[in-house]
Chain A
């Protein structure tokens, strides 16, 4: 049977959320739909690594604010949240601390005030702090053996610098140095109204909305200015780390880029998709589907609130590192030297339009898209620009972006694996 006709997707719109500016400076975005009676509430505090006065304090605060107040123990709070079938997860990113709460709408009144009791007045019990440090160190030790984790650590350190919020790596010593006073200070300085952004998605009644606003407004007024942080990239462009017993090498390449609002971002988003951003990408096709060098290879443009980088990642068999690296460089150079054929460009446009549609499909996906933009301090119309660039960017424009951003010599390369 012959292929059925394909109906192109001409436009994708980001649904406009209800935006509330609260009396204490907090922002709330509400994405309502008539779906199952569930709510996903994500609350972020600008209290991440950028705001730290001491390394690892954001990570520790993020875990330990849930461990109780002077009035209620962490165990009792967990018991109550669990009892109502809710799930409270810590938010884990470099820029923010905070939480995601999944709850049946009918139980929101039982759960949300309690969550805010925890947020507002954590007691950071000493015992919980010790347990956290032990667990975090155990995880560091397990990760010491993982080529993928070590590759990421070494690369981000090289791109941003050893003391930079996006570059430093947690250490046992750094974790052991933390005190309760550090956590109290981090919490007091940064868990404030103006540092707060919240995203409520699901089937949200008027009562639920009022409750969410009321609880967010319990946060104290005030906000903090981010400190200035200097990029201090390492000089080395080739970093090799040996894990003698490893069967594969983790290859990581990266270079500094910029924020999502960088004028080249939208074009680089399309270019990255072609390079290594989807299954049909050039890296996947050449290194996996043609040569069987790797199970998974991808590239991405990772942006954060204050910066970003271009990242390439693959695990390859021992002895095939050089072939793989050469093949990756060949693909970078091909994008710099040759124009992308119209067929390929059309396919990437079509694929991306489908993925944009999925990004705004239903309240949860929509909320996630909005959260990504807002948390990176990017205005919502950025989404339209991304769609528009995807539809209209030319092969010539993509080639000049490749010439600007994808020169192999600008990348830092990390290889973690067995001895050659």
Chain B
């Protein structure tokens, strides 16, 4: 009878510990998802994509300048310097 009771206590303890582990790990992952969303993954993704898109979109404006140089290429260096001052 005593042996049976000890076994029961040990099994109950196992389940309690298992439940605590599940709750703690779930809380950790919820917190991690929140932090990643706030600071890490999305921000970095957006920055990478933004610089990529900006580069592509800048090409359109650069094409305008290049076409204008074909019409009149005087002061080329001065104009290029003025444009490049804007590029970060």
A-B interaction: no
A: residues with CB less than 8 A from B are: none
